[in-house]
């Protein structure tokens, strides 16, 4: 590839060097300067209509819209001069004259760019004395409602639907100050990626029905995570209120999901909060299952596993760390390790390359395969007489449990306990939102997720439980951090070599030979 | 010619020579008047030669901006391997302007010929004539003229038997003022919403369908055949004041004047004579108070300014306004300036495409304040607010509609402030409103 031509300029007195063709707005970002803007979004075509990003360019007669103006060699750009500030203050005043200023009842409040920039550089008062424009709230279909009175006509939603979703649903209707976002007759925001318009909307005009009036933005605790609902591995924020996940938001990752998540992933979070969880370690004694101290339960499980073949039924929702420790058990005792995956239709976002809701609806299918587990629709098929059956977070729904009787003993390591079986030991573990770990997406990208909420009862992180179990068996030293499990994994599995939590960062890195078929 | 009036002796009828003659609309009638000789001549010339004649003539864009036509044509690089397009802007929507309408009503073939020559000169095979949707009569005559020209082999794949291709198509607008803005026109032509585009890229680089495009006004293109036939020197000779403004200009006159209508005079004609002699002066017992000389979006002139104006691009600027489209709106002493300006603002608020914040909100807010003042409920602060809004609306948007709305407001308040103030002072006081303010 030809070397990109670089351009040097000065923005707010700071020297900046960026590739030719970069906008002033993007160049300013590299210097740590955020030029206020509304209509501009890095993933969408540039309409240059909100006029919020006006800056002063020396020797130019007019103020320049920094989103639509390319950098030029030697250019001197001022963002905070009186002239530029006055112009942006004017834009903010115009945007607010018909805005209802109903922040106290608006879901966007606290994460609203109109609020932010008005506090930053807007007028303290309004000179508007006339009646405000009013239009009724409209159901846009899907998860989206439209509150036209709050709309600033930035058209991000229209451009997303047209240019990325390739589904022409929205438009700008009417002209002048009567203008509002319209929905074509008979259409709705039912595209599998449509709800991204809610995140793209810089104000409270497009809101999620699911999240409506559920929480104030500042009440939410946020944790960087990975969407567990398919193998794409979209980067997300888990937003939690009162130890309950309130919503999922996309977290930008240029390599995986840009700025987006699909509606299926976005709305499929209630299972994370389920209340009927396994929350106490339990041991069967004299035919009765009773709660036990963790140490007792671990030792009981270790006793069962002392010798003999194991048959592992694992969940592809488990982290690389947990699956790695389970695979060590499999290596030591011998036996089989299988997992099953729920599937659905693939739903791509056509305007973005290699981004789709994938058929496999679990986060770590590729990780499980890399770590030696086999995909199977009938997980108990390979269960042999006398095996120790380990159910690692599979609910066994839809599985004929009659074959379970072949097992010498059953250990459940999971977030729930299947009804149909009588385990000897239950080791309750946290789900992905309650622990730290990594998933490997379908392109072999290893990505970290962090803890968003507390696990119920005495449930412990899967890597901790399994580490302790292997410690008692004598396979491993005990682990104190998930990063230690991961570095152990990276040392012993060729595909993961060279990776660590530090090098992964929060955007992830691919495993060796990612994208090529891996010999397991 | 001062249609519907008789030709005034001081007019110079170049484009308007055949206005009022229904026969000139037909191909035969037009040929009898020397039609299509220019096209024949042009197709025998090289495009570069045509461009240099037009450059030499000093012809400037008659749509409002006054950009030299020959130079505009020379931006179209021949042989770049891309299709070129000519667009004729016949979306004449500027309030007070109706001169292109007359060109198309009476001499549609003049425009067809101009379009064909222009297209050939810029290396285009296709010209689109974008006609304002409300112009049903001009549309009818233009369609007839084009169909006649095709039947006679003047247009098409083998234009006038020269083997050169020149197609002219009519596209009907759907009634939006903003579609007269050249980039909005291109969007509308392509079937999109008529929103102006960001420049750059300029139309000569990426215009209609993303290809190099030139956009010219009806009056500009209609003048081209005559310039080719009679020569650049002849055209340049019609300049009474500034040599940068050449030829004749059509003015459409409306408002409080005795003889409204279309007039054609040489560049540099004295505006005072134009108003009092050609247009017949004010109505009985009235006096002129103000003139908007170039369509609704140029600054309002006081009579002192108007009387001192020589009618060309530079002359209007020297007297605080602009030539614009040549739509002269005359306002007499029986009118309230506040009413006039409020009405103009309402027009722009209605026609704003709603893209840019300043325009969408500013035009409507300006209108609300002006109408409040008009209705006797204004305050002195309102005038400051209006001036401040106008400043924020000027030079900050994609196109100039926002500036166009601010222009009459600023010039109106500056030049006729006392009218605003007397309405404000005579207002009834609403204590509740005062508290809010």
| Residue B8: inside a domain | no
Q: How many domains does chain B have?
A: 3
Same domain, B231 and B265: no
| pLDDT class of B432 with cuts at 50, 70, 90 | very low
Contact B392 A87 (CB under 8 A): yes
Same domain, B301 and B362: no
Contacts of A288 (CB under 8 A, 6+ apart): none
Q: Which one of A95, A172, A176 has the shortest CB-CB distance to B357?
A: A95
- Tell me the three state secondary structure of residue A280: coil
Contacts of A153 (CB under 8 A, 6+ apart): A49, A50, A172, A179, A180, A181, B354, B355, B357, B360
Parallel, antiparallel, or unpaired for β A138-139 and A144-146?
antiparallel
Instruction: Give the Cα separation of A212 and B67 in Å (integer).
Output: 54
Same domain, B328 and B341: no
- Name the DSSP class of A270: G
Question: Residue B104 in contact with residue B218, Cβ under 8 Å?
Answer: yes
Same domain, B265 and B232: no
Min CA distance, A10 vs chain B (Å)?
A: 22
What does residue B27 show for φ and ψ, rounded to 5 degrees?
-65, -45
pLDDT tens for B36-76 read 999 999 999 999 999 999 999 999 999 988 999 999 999 99
A contacts of B351 (beta carbons < 8 Å): 175-176
Instruction: Give the Cα separation of B279 and B289 in Å (integer).
Output: 15
Same domain, B122 and B177: yes
Quote the tokens at residue A166: 């390739």
Contact B358 A52 (CB under 8 A): no
Tell me: pLDDT of B437 over 70: no
Same domain, B113 and B144: yes
DSSP symbols for B77-142: -TTSSS-EEEEEEE---STT--HHHHHHHH-HHHHHHHHHHHHHHTTEEEEEEEE-TT-HHHHHHH
| Residue B307: inside a domain | yes
Domain-terminating residue out of B213, B237, B261: B237
Instruction: Give the Cα separation of A111 and A39 in Å (integer).
Output: 16
Instruction: Give the Cα separation of B143 and B171 in Å (integer).
Output: 10
Question: Residue B236 in contact with residue B244, Cβ under 8 Å?
Answer: no
- Chain-centre distance for alpha carbon A138: 28
Contact B433 A129 (CB under 8 A): yes
For chain A, give every domain's residue range. 6-92, 128-273, 282-510
Domains A6-92 and A128-273 share a fold: no
| Residue B297: inside a domain | yes
Instruction: Give me the CATH topology for the region A6-92.
Output: Ubiquitin-like (UB roll) (3.10.20)
Contact A177 B352 (CB under 8 A): yes
- Tell me the three state secondary structure of residue B65: coil
Nearest to A446 by CA among A371, A358, A364, A354: A364
pLDDT of residue B117: 97
Contact B361 A98 (CB under 8 A): yes
How far is the CA of B7 from the CAs of A444, B101, B251, B279, B424, in angstroms? 84, 18, 14, 11, 45
Same domain, B254 and B401: no
Contact B354 A179 (CB under 8 A): yes
Quote the tokens at residue B185: 């026109």
| Residue B302: inside a domain | yes
pLDDT of residue A267: 97
Instruction: Give the Cα separation of A143 and B389 in Å (integer).
Output: 38
- Chain-centre distance for alpha carbon A281: 30
Quote the tokens at residue B87: 């667009």
pLDDT of residue B79: 86
Q: Which one of A65, A128, A152 has the shortest CB-CB distance to B365?
A: A128
Domain-terminating residue out of B332, B365, B397: B332
| Residue B1: inside a domain | no
Query: pTM to 2 decimals?
Result: 0.94
Contact B365 A174 (CB under 8 A): no
A contacts of B436 (beta carbons < 8 Å): 129
Mutation site, A177, A179, A184, A203, interface B, largest B CB count within 10 A? A177
Instruction: Give the Cα separation of A417 and A357 in Å (integer).
Output: 29
Per-residue pLDDT of chain A (520 residues; tens, 9 = 90+): 567 899 999 999 999 999 999 999 999 999 999 999 999 999 999 999 999 999 999 999 999 999 999 999 999 999 999 999 999 999 999 999 999 999 999 999 999 999 999 999 999 999 999 999 999 999 999 999 999 999 999 999 999 999 999 999 999 999 999 999 999 999 999 999 999 999 999 999 999 999 999 999 999 999 999 999 999 999 999 999 999 999 999 999 999 999 999 999 999 999 999 999 999 999 999 889 999 999 999 999 999 998 889 999 999 999 999 999 999 999 999 999 999 999 999 999 999 999 999 999 999 999 999 999 999 999 998 899 999 999 999 999 988 878 888 999 999 999 999 988 999 999 999 999 999 999 999 999 999 999 999 999 999 999 999 999 999 998 878 899 999 999 999 999 999 999 999 999 999 999 986 655 444 3
Q: Which one of A52, A94, A127 has the shortest CB-CB distance to B361?
A: A94
What is the rounded average pLDDT for all residues in chain B?
94
B contacts of A95 (beta carbons < 8 Å): 357, 361
Same domain, B177 and B37: yes
Contact A176 B351 (CB under 8 A): yes
pLDDT tens for B323-368 read 999 999 999 999 999 999 999 999 999 999 999 999 999 999 999 9
Same domain, B195 and B105: yes
Cβ pairs bridging A and B (under 8 Å): 95
* Strand ordering across the sheet containing A335-339: A288-291, A282-285, A425-428, A409-414, A388-392, A310-314, A335-339, A374-375
> Hey, what's the torsion of the CAs at A488, A490, A494, A497, to 10 degrees?
-140
The enclosing domain of B314 has a CATH number of: 3.10.20.600
**What would the mean pLDDT of B209-229 be, rounded to a whole number?**
97
Same domain, B171 and B279: no
Residues 97..136 of A with a Cβ closer than 8 Å to B: which? Answer: 97-98, 127-130
Min CA distance, B89 vs chain A (Å)?
A: 22
Q: Report the CATH number of the A128-273 domain.
A: 3.30.70.20
Q: Report the CATH number of the A282-510 domain.
A: 3.40.50.740
Contact B357 A46 (CB under 8 A): no
B→A interface, C-beta within 8 Å: 176, 178, 193, 198, 349-358, 360-365, 368-369, 372, 381, 385, 388-389, 391-392, 395-398, 433, 436-437
Tell me: pLDDT of B21 over 50: yes
Domain-terminating residue out of B170, B204, B237: B237
ipTM summary value: 0.92
Contact B364 A175 (CB under 8 A): no
A201 interfacial to chain B (CB closer than 8 Å): no
Min CA distance, B341 vs chain A (Å)?
A: 18
A229 interfacial to chain B (CB closer than 8 Å): no
pLDDT of residue A518: 44
Same domain, B195 and B50: yes
Question: Residue A401 in contact with residue A416, Cβ under 8 Å?
Answer: no
pLDDT of residue B433: 43
| H-helix or E-strand spanning residue B157 | strand B156-159
Q: Across the strands, what pairs with A375?
A: A339
Instruction: Give the Cα separation of A453 and A245 in Å (integer).
Output: 8
Contact B361 A97 (CB under 8 A): yes
| pLDDT class of B435 with cuts at 50, 70, 90 | very low
Tell me: pLDDT of B434 over 50: no
**What would the mean pLDDT of B296-316 be, rounded to a whole number?**
97
A contacts of B398 (beta carbons < 8 Å): 48-49
Q: How many CB atoms lie within 10 A of CB A457?
A: 13
Min CA distance, A450 vs chain B (Å)?
A: 41
Instruction: Give the Cα separation of B421 and B403 in Å (integer).
Output: 24
Nearest to B108 by CA among B187, B228, B26: B26
Tell me which long-range contacts B432-437 makes (C-beta under 8 A, separation of at least 24): B433/A129, B433/B377, B436/A129, B437/A129, B437/B379, B437/B381
Nearest to B94 by CA among B402, B386, B401, B418: B401
Domain of B395?
337-425
Parallel, antiparallel, or unpaired for β A144-146 and A64-65?
unpaired
Same domain, B307 and B376: no
């Amino acid at each position: 590839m030809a070397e990109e031509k670089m351009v040097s300029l000065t923005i707010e007195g700071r020297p900046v060097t960026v590739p030719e063709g970069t906008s002033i707005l993007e160049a300013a970002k590299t210097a740590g300067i955020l030029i206020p803007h509304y209509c501009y979004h890095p993933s969408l075509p540039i309409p240059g209509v909100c006029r919020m990003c006006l800056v002063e360019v020396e020797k130019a007669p007019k103020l320049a819209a920094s989103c639509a103006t390319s950098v030029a060699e030697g250019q001197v750009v001022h963002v905070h001069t009186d002239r530029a500030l006055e112009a942006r203050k004017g834009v903010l005043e115009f945007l607010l004259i018909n805005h209802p200023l109903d922040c106290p009842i608006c879901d966007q409040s606290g994460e609203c760019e109109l609020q932010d920039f008005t506090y930053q550089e807007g007028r303290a008062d309004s000179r508007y004395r006339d009646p405000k424009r009013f239009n009724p709230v409209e159901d846009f279909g899907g998860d989206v409602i439209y509150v036209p009175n709050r709309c600033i006509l930035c058209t991000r939603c229209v451009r997303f639907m047209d240019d990325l979703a390739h589904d022409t649903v929205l438009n700008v209707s009417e002209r002048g100050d009567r203008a509002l976002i319209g929905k074509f007759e008979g259409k709705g925001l039912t595209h599998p990626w449509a709800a991204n318009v809610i995140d793209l909307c810089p104000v409270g005009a497009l809101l999620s029905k699911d999240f409506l009036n559920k929480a104030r933005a500042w009440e939410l605790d946020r944790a960087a995570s990975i969407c567990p609902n398919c193998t794409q591995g979209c980067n997300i924020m888990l937003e939690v209120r009162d130890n309950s996940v309130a919503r999922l938001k996309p977290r930008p990752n240029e390599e995986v999901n840009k700025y987006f998540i699909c509606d299926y992933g976005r709305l499929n979070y209630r299972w994370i909060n389920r209340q009927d969880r396994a929350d106490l370690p339990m041991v069967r004694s004299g035919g009765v299952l009773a709660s036990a101290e963790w140490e007792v339960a671990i030792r009981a499980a270790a006793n069962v596993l002392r010798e003999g073949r194991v048959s592992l039924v694992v969940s592809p929702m488990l982290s690389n760390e947990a699956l790695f420790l389970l695979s060590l058990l499999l290596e030591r005792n011998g036996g089989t390790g299988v997992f099953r995956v729920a599937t659905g239709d693939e739903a791509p976002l056509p305007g973005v390359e290699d981004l789709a809701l994938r058929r496999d609806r679990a986060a770590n299918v590729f990780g499980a395969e890399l770590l030696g587990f086999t995909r199977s629709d009938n997980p108990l098929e390979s269960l042999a007489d006398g095996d120790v059956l380990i159910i690692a977070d599979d609910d066994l729904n839809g599985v004929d449990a009659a074959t379970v009787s072949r097992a010498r003993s059953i250990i459940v390591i999971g977030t729930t306990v299947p009804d149909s079986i009588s385990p000897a030991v239950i080791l309750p573990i946290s789900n992905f939102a309650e622990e730290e770990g990594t998933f490997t997406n379908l392109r072999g990208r290893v990505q970290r997720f962090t803890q968003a909420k507390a696990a119920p009862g005495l449930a412990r992180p899967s890597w901790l439980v399994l580490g302790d179990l292997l410690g008692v068996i004598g396979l491993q030293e005990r682990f104190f951090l998930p990063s230690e499990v991961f570095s152990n994994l990276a040392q012993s599995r060729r595909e993961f070599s060279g990776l660590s939590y530090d090098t992964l960062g929060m955007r992830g890195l691919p495993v060796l030979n990612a994208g090529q078929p891996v010999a397991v | 010619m001062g249609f519907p009036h008789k030709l005034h002796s001081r007019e110079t009828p170049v484009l308007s020579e055949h206005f009022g003659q229904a026969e000139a609309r037909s191909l035969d009638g037009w040929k009898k008047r020397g039609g299509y000789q220019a096209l024949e001549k042009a197709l025998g010339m090289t495009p570069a030669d045509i461009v240099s004649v037009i450059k030499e003539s000093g012809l400037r864009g008659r749509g409002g901006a006054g950009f030299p036509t020959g130079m505009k044509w020379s931006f179209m690089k021949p042989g770049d391997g891309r299709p070129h397009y000519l667009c004729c802007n016949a979306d004449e929507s500027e309030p007070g302007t109706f001169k292109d309408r007359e060109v198309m009503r009476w001499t549609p073939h003049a425009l067809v010929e101009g379009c064909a020559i222009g297209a050939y000169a810029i290396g285009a095979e296709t010209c689109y004539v974008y006609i304002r949707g409300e112009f049903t009569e001009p549309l009818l005559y233009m369609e007839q003229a084009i169909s006649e020209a095709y039947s006679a082999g003047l247009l098409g794949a083998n234009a006038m038997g020269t083997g050169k291709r020149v197609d002219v198509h009519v596209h009907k607008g759907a009634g939006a003022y903003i579609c007269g803005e050249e980039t909005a026109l291109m969007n509308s032509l392509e079937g999109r919403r008529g929103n102006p585009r960001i420049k750059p890229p300029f139309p000569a680089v990426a215009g209609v369908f993303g290809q190099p495009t030139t956009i010219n006004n009806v009056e500009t293109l209609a003048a081209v055949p005559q310039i080719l036939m009679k020569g650049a020197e002849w055209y340049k000779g019609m300049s009474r004041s500034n040599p940068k403004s050449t030829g004749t200009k059509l003015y459409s006159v409306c408002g409080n004047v005795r003889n409204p209508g279309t007039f054609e005079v040489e560049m540099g004609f004295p505006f005072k004579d134009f108003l009092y002699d050609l247009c017949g002066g004010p109505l009985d017992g009235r006096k002129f108070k103000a003139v908007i000389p170039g369509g609704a979006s140029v600054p309002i002139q006081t009579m002192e300014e108007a009387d001192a104006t020589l009618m060309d691009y530079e002359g209007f600027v020297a007297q605080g306004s602009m030539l614009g489209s040549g739509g002269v709106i005359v306002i007499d002493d029986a009118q309230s300036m506040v009413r006039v300006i409020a009405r103009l603002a309402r027009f722009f608020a209605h026609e704003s495409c709603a893209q840019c914040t300043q325009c969408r909100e500013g035009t409507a807010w300006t209108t609300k304040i002006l109408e409040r003042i008009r209705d006797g409920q204004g305050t002195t602060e309102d005038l400051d607010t209006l001036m401040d809004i106008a400043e924020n609306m000027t030079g900050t948007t994609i196109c100039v509609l926002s500036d166009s709305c601010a222009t009459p407001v600023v010039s109106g308040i500056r030049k006729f402030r006392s009218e605003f103030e007397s309405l404000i002072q005579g207002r009834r006081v609403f204590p509740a409103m005062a508290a809010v303010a």
